[in-house]
Chain A
Amino acid sequence: MTTLEPPLHRQLGLTDWEAGRIDELLGRRPTHPELVMFSLMWSEHCSYKHSRRLLRRFPTEGPSVLQGPGENAGVVDVGDGWAAALKIESHNHPSAVEPFEGAATGVGGIVRDILAMGARPIALLDSLRFGELASARSRHLFARSVAGIGHYGNCIGVPTVGGEVAFDDRYEDSCLVNAMCVGVVRHDALLRSAASGPGNAVVLIGNRTGADGIGGASVLASAELDEEEDRRPSVQVSDPFTERKLIDCCLELAGRGAFVALQDLGAAGLTSASSEMAAKGGVGIELDLDAVPLRQPLEPAEILVSESQERMLAVVEPGRVGEVIAACDRWELLATAVGRVTDGGNLLARAAGRVVVDVPARLLADDAPAYDVPIEPAPEPEPLQLEDVPAPSDLAAAWRDLLARPNVASKRWVYQQYDHLVGANTVQRPGGDAAVVRLPGSSRAIALTTDGAERHCQLDPRAGGAAAVLEAARTLACVGARPAAATDCLNFPNPEKGATGWRLREVIDGMSEALRALGVPVVSGNVSLYNESGSRAIYPTPVVGMMGLLFEAAASVTHGFDADGDAVLLAGAATPRLDGSELLGEARGRPPAPDVPAQAALCAALAEAAERRLLRSAHDVAAGGVAVALAESALAGGLGVEVTLPVGRRGDETLFGEGGGRAVVSCRRDGETQLAELFASHGVALKRIGTAGGAHVAVDLGGQPVALGLDEAAEAYETGLAEALR
């Protein structure tokens, strides 16, 4: 080391205070491998040191919660003896470096979190944010991320049933790739990661360990991406074939009760897996690094923190190790006993017969420092003055252009590259509101969605946080599901700068308020901070992954108009505004704060209407307002619509204004009274606005006709995204 170089702990991303704290806790200087391990386990990515205190504000409990935050995935009861495990995770920075492999390995990682619970992964969703497609770099990152997600999900046979994509300049330097996975497990087969039983073996299953992503967790995921410096770790190459074998083999072994505990190897590899397993179980673990199968020669510290993918760590009774290895052999998977559970509570590692690590596991896994983020409110934005927004001269043309915008246009280009059917349980495919997936061997189904409201969160983080949760719930309600559990990924810029810390807290509080009103617990999640470059920071982007339940898969409702003559109605009362809307195309103004109880009531009314089979279609009013929702329902059903809307303050605001929480629904003409009574009993506004039928989407706007031919609308909506990618 030359004298010019900063001390090792700083190179590893630890502050001087943290290095001192490690000495103090250990009562000595750490060894080199120990210091490397601390640097990773105490990184933002692994320890949540800047968000941990704020996350406690989320509601996490409920009668159906079998496992809240703190495990590899949250788990809730879904009836009939089944439980569902769910979690969302970001792979933002790796995807910005190498979009195909970064996005693919992101899918791999979240699937292993579900597998670690002993659950069979049955659905994937992806939530994506990129810069505008006018940028060649964003086109590349977007197209390659989609290809990578498809590659992985398709090859492991887990259907990618939903997700979302949005483009905004703010993501030009820091794209977001979040992946969510849901799995199912019988209650009695639920696994956990706490190691137990001193003397039990620790078995490493899956790929050999290479130099992949070494330094990844601390360097790549917790620092701003800086183009000047090349601190790229060795990129992880995805191996979905091995992942599929891991799924098949681990579930087979779990089914036979061969595992005492199971844990995936993610960030910080063997270090985090073993220290967390030990700390959770209040036991120690001894590792023999010479036994770890390697792809290339590695130092002890490298073996301990390598992030090679497609690996799981299992605690197995000594008498069953042979059985585990034999099953893995049959699947052509490596399985190696690499250590054992011990008394005490230390993580100990030997290499070449020498002890190279011997630290209390708890110090690594649980005792990372927690910091408060500065709480500095941003100035309150002023509501938009309508006069400052130029009114479109031709409303029909504005409507058509909006339908073709990548943020609104059909995402078929994306989901056509994903196998969304494998497993033969996909009742509702991507393209509508929530996806609906039948539970194996049951008439029940789960509904799944991911939603964000980043422009709203930028302008008014508390209202925006609530809006994101409510949009997710409404999306589920539109297919007829009752929201049951949430997972969330908090994608934010640097929380130590400006108002970001305050926004983080406000978003969490807004989300929590809405979650409490809906009775939905957060059971898992992930935080991705520092998503900013020298010149650009992302919007505060909480992505809400929500799961709902349907007692009858067959009762689910689609978003397409169904039959000529059906009544078309607008559910929910809200005043549409252009503040922060897609028509405006930027975070400007101040969207109205959502009326949380009213929206919760809307969700309940929609779900009940579906259960009583009163709805022929339902569709959430989101980006692009009621005009876009009407067009989408018409296109999905291949059936036009004629409605009359009051003109309001201005035609473009009435048609394209957003906010508040509304849904366009349709019902049989003779079912209208019943539907009206049902909504009235929930205190939710429901207004007949028109009739399905014809070959146009036509709005009578206080006497002024605005209409698009179905063909014309389809052309704009179906080709918009592909055109933007040309």
Chain B
Amino acid sequence: MSVAVLRFPGSLDHESAARAIRTAGGTAAEVWHDESDLPGGTRAVVIPGGFSYGDHLRPGAIASRARVMDDVRRHAERGGMVLGICNGFQVLCEAGLLPGALRPNATLSFVCRQTTLEVTDPDAPWTRALGAGAHLSIPIKNNSGAWFGDPTTARVALRYVGEDALGSVDAAAGVLDDRGTVLGLMPHPEEACDPLLGSADGLALFQAAVAA
């Protein structure tokens, strides 16, 4: 039930993510980057979006070396669920917990807009409830959202539908690790958990985290 939400200097979406977790029926615990351990009882970890360390050097690079990441790695190795959103996805790739890297968008600019995603790998705890082919309306907002990796070996969990994927290989919007328990997602489900804001399609991902 308890989901850890990491916080680095420059994290921006930790509160929105915590709110989404609560909406999904869970409890959220904010964890400072300099902690050596995740709180006891942590069932899933969310690395929220933002500009950790100002995106300096490479997005996610500096945060991926934070102390708490050692315990996130142990948690993942035990098969614990981890969701990295946007900057969190970048952190997970930089930490080697997900394959590939995220490069600047083909537009070389920040892009904020609503996108449609399709579930392309339903065999993971993150996507199982959604099912293959499910469509989600979720916004993207990033500078470096183009995934670069080998789609023949990586598990692409979600793809952009019918629009320019900003240079992402295989139109990948979300990538899983081999086991399917670590998910990196460029779009922001925490911005899509309330019909008042235009969509509640993102809630399913937080429900998956809470069910862990």
Direct contact of A and B (CB under 8 A): yes
**Contact status A244-B51, CB under 8 Å:** yes
A119-153: CB near B (< 8 Å → 1, else 0) gives: 00000000000000000000000000001001100
Contact A241 B53 (CB under 8 A): yes
Tally of A-B residue pairs with Cβ under 8 A? Answer: 83
Interface size on A, residues (CB 8 A): 34
In the complex, what residue of chain A is closest to B198 when comparing beta carbons?
A429
Q: For residue A429, which residues in chain B have a CB less than 8 angstroms away from its CB?
A: 198
Q: Is A352 an interface residue (CB 8 A)?
A: no
Which A residue sits closest to B52, measured CB to CB? A241
Q: How far is the CA of A438 from the CA of B51 in the complex (A)?
A: 23
Does A644 count as interface, using CB distance less than 8 angstroms?
no
Q: A420, B112: Cβ atoms under 8 Å?
A: yes
Q: Is the CB of B51 within 8 A of A553?
A: no
Query: Chain B, 3-34, contact with A by CB distance < 8 Å: what is the 0/1 string?
Result: 00000011011011001100000000000001
Contact B19 A424 (CB under 8 A): yes
User: Are A553 and B196 within 8 A (Cβ)?
Assistant: yes
B194 touches A424 (CB 8 A): yes
* Partner among B10, B110, B197, B198 whose Cβ is within 8 Å of the Cβ of A417: B110
Nearest-Cβ distance from residue A645 to partner chain B, whole angstroms: 33
B9→A421 contact, CB < 8 A = no
Q: Which of A151, A245, A425 is within 8 Å of B9, CB to CB? A: A245
**With A421-B139, A422-B141 known to touch, is A554 a contact of B196 (CB < 8 Å)?**
yes
Which of these, A156, A244, A415, A426, contacts B197 with CB under 8 Å?
A426
Cα separation A248 to B109 with both chains bound (whole Å): 26
Q: Which residues of chain A are near B20, meaning CB under 8 Å? A: 424
Please tell me if the beta carbons of A418 and B12 are within 8 angstroms of each other in the complex: no
Mark each residue of chain A from 231 to 248: 1 if its CB lies under 8 Å from any CB of chain B, else 0: 000000001111011001
The verdict on A155 contacting chain B, using a C-beta distance below 8 Å, is yes
Task: Say yes or no: A423-B197 contact (C-beta < 8 A), given A332-B9, A417-B112.
Answer: no
Is there contact, CB below 8 Å, between B110 and A419? yes
Q: Is B78 in the interface zone, CB < 8 Å from A?
A: no
Q: A424-B191, A424-B193 are in contact. Are A154 and B110 (CB under 8 A)?
A: yes
Give the contacting residue for B10; candidates A245, A418, A427, A553; CB below 8 A: A245
A418-B9 contact, Cβ under 8 Å, with A424-B19, A424-B197, A427-B197: no
Q: CB distance B191 to A421 under 8 Å? A: yes
Confirm or deny: A383 has a beta carbon within 8 angstroms of a beta carbon on chain B: no
Partner of B112, one of A156, A421, A424: A421
CB pair A241–B56 under 8 Å, yes or no, is yes
**B interface majority secondary structure:** mixed
As a 0/1 sequence over residues 39 to 80 of chain B, the CB contacts with chain A under 8 angstroms (1 = contact) are: 000000000001101111000000000000000000000000
User: With A157-B12, A422-B13, A426-B197 given, is the CB distance from A417 to B109 under 8 Å?
Assistant: yes
Given known contacts A157-B50, A553-B196, A422 and B12 CB-to-CB distance under 8 angstroms: yes
A150 CB contacts on chain B under 8 angstroms: 109-110
Tell me if B130 is interfacial: C-beta within 8 Å of chain A: no
Residue of B nearest to A445 (CB): B196
B177 within 8 A of A: no
Which residues of B sit under 8 angstroms from A553, Cβ to Cβ?
A: 196
User: Is A241 touching B197 in the complex (CB atoms < 8 A)?
Assistant: no
Select from chain A the residue with minimum beta-carbon distance to B17.
Answer: A424
How far does the alpha carbon of A425 sit from the alpha carbon of B51 in the complex, in Å?
19
Which residues of chain A have C-beta atoms less than 8 A from B12's C-beta? 156-157, 244, 422
Cα–Cα, bound, A418→B139 (Å): 13
The residue on A at minimum CB distance from B111 is A416
Which of A331, A421, A422, A426 has the most chain B CB within a 10 Å cutoff?
A421
Interface string of B105-122 (1 = CB under 8 A from A): 000011111000000000
How far, in whole Å, are A330 and B190 apart by their CA atoms in the complex?
27
A373 vs chain B, min Cβ distance (A): 42
Q: Are A419 and B196 in contact (CB under 8 A)?
A: no
Docked CA distance A377–B15 (Å): 54
B188 interfacial by beta-carbon distance below 8 Å: yes
Q: How far is the CB of B50 from chain A (nearest CB, A)?
A: 6
**Interface set, chain A 422-436, CB cutoff 8 A to B:** 422-427, 429
- Contact partners of A421 in chain B: CB under 8 A: 112, 139, 141, 188, 191, 197
Q: B54 touching A241 by the CB < 8 A rule?
A: yes
Give the chain B neighbours of A332 by CB distance below 8 A.
Answer: 9
CB of A416 within 8 A of CB of B51, answer no
Indicate whether A418 sits within 8 Å of B197 (C-beta atoms), given known contacts A244-B51, A424-B16, A424-B191.
no
Among A150, A241, A427, the one with the most B-chain Cβ atoms within 10 Å of its Cβ is: A241
- A419 near B112 with CB under 8 A, answer yes
Contact at B9–A244, with CB atoms within 8 Å? yes
Q: Complex: how many Å from CA A244 to CA B50? A: 11
Contacts of B13 in A (CB 8 A): 157, 422, 424
Which chain B positions have C-beta within 8 A of A241? 9-10, 51, 53-56
- Taking CB atoms, residues of chain B closer than 8 Å to A330 are 34
**Cα–Cα distance between A150 and B50 once the two chains are bound (Å):** 14
Kindly provide the distance from the CB of A557 to the nearest chain B CB, expressed in whole angstroms: 13
List CB contacts (< 8 Å) of B170-194 with chain A.
188, 190-191, 193-194
Shortest distance between the CB of A155 and any CB in chain B (Å): 5
**Chain A 283-322 residues near chain B, CB threshold 8 A:** none
Residue from A147, A154, A426 within 8 A of B51 (CB atoms): A154
**What's the least CB distance linking A430 to chain B, in Å?**
9
Besides A242-B54, A424-B13, A424-B194, 11 more A-B contacts (Cβ < 8 Å) are A155-B55, A241-B10, A241-B53, A244-B12, A244-B54, A245-B10, A418-B112, A419-B110, A421-B141, A421-B188, A423-B15
Supply 15 A–B pairs (Cβ within 8 Å), ascending by A.
A154-B143, A155-B54, A157-B13, A241-B10, A241-B55, A244-B54, A416-B111, A419-B110, A421-B191, A424-B20, A424-B190, A424-B197, A427-B197, A438-B196, A554-B196
Q: Which 8 A-B pairs have the closest CB atoms?
A: A241-B54, A157-B12, A424-B16, A155-B51, A419-B141, A421-B191, A417-B110, A419-B112
